[in-house]
Amino acid sequence: MISFVPDPDYFLIRVTTTKEFKEIELLLLSRSIPFTVDNDYWRKLFYIPKLSEDKARSELKSYLEENKNWPPQAPDYPTTGFRFSFLHVCIVLCLAFFHWQVTRVDFGPNWLESGKFTATQVMSGDWWRLCTALTLHVDDAHLLSNMVGLLMFVGGVAYFSGPGLSWLLVVVSGCLGNYLNALFTQTSQSGIGASTAVFAAVGLIGIFGIRTYYHRRELKSRILIPFMAGFGIFAMMGTNPQTDVSAHLFGFIAGAMIGLMLLPFVHSERLGNKLIQFGGFLLFCLIIYGSWLYPLYFKH
């Protein structure tokens, strides 16, 4: 802070920070105003002869007016929030319980064989594998990594679409990702895991975030930042050669595709309707339940 100190012999300017001291020093030097200084830890004073007081005041006033809004305030970049709910925790715990039942308890049908994803089988008509494969995992470590991913990124989708619809969008995007994977790979290699849905959620968040930037005039030129951030997450977490990279990629693409179709409805007040959220969650449950019910009880 700059202030003036009364003195009978000198025009005294007091500053409180080193930055201000250097700025005033440069100003006086550039305007050829004579001065001496008293610069120590406690006092930072400029002593200007009385004959130069008027010129110093005028230059200082102009300097302060020109720089009162400098540096300019940095744009307030919106951040993607996360909305966790009891529903999120329940679904992830149900996924863990299902994994425990399938891998440790012998209670009838071969769930892994009936539900795993294989491109050739999907293209031959086993449509349910698009969904059932999302609920199966190789081991506990595989399950744990996907549980963390689902909690984090489905929470991000919920920020834009609400808790019930978020799970519906993620599972539909995950199924579409598996279908695209089957369509373009056409291999007999099997795969399981919720990671396709995890990266579908990343794709959804990347696209949904664009709408937030679009409605901020100062950020329109950076409108692709949310999508590029999502793609960066995919590049860092989804390209490990030891994982199913194609499933991750097509999951991300599927999420982005569905996100584009739903972009006009992001942050809509209608999505906050409890009936719509309940309907979305109910449809999510029916998709999961129906996908397992058909191969285990109706196919044969």
Domain boundaries of the chain, sorted by first residue: 3-66, 86-298
How many Cα atoms within 13 Å fall on the side-chain side of residue 74?
2
**pLDDT at residue 44 in the model:** 79
> Do 159 and 81 meet the contact criterion of CB atoms below 8 Å apart?
yes
What is the tens place of the pLDDT at every residue in 40-83?
666 678 889 988 988 988 988 888 888 776 665 555 545 556 67
User: Does pTM top 0.85 for this prediction?
Assistant: no
**pLDDT at residue 190 in the model:** 79
Length in residues, the chain: 300
As a whole number, mean pLDDT of residues 188-194 equals 84
Rounded CA-CA distance 197/291 in Å is 16
Give the CA diameter of the chain: 105
Residues 6+ away with beta carbon under 8 Å from 223: 210, 213, 214
In single-letter form, the type of residue at position 3 comes to: S
> Do 256 and 207 meet the contact criterion of CB atoms below 8 Å apart?
yes
Rounded CA-CA distance 286/290 in Å is 6
CATH code that applies to domain 3-66: 3.30.70
What is the tens place of the pLDDT at every residue in 211-224?
877 766 666 677 88
The burial of 3, by beta-carbon neighbours within 10 Å (0-12 exposed, 13-18 middle, 19 or more buried), is given as exposed
**For the domain 86-298, what is the CATH superfamily, name and number?**
Rhomboid-like (1.20.1540.10)
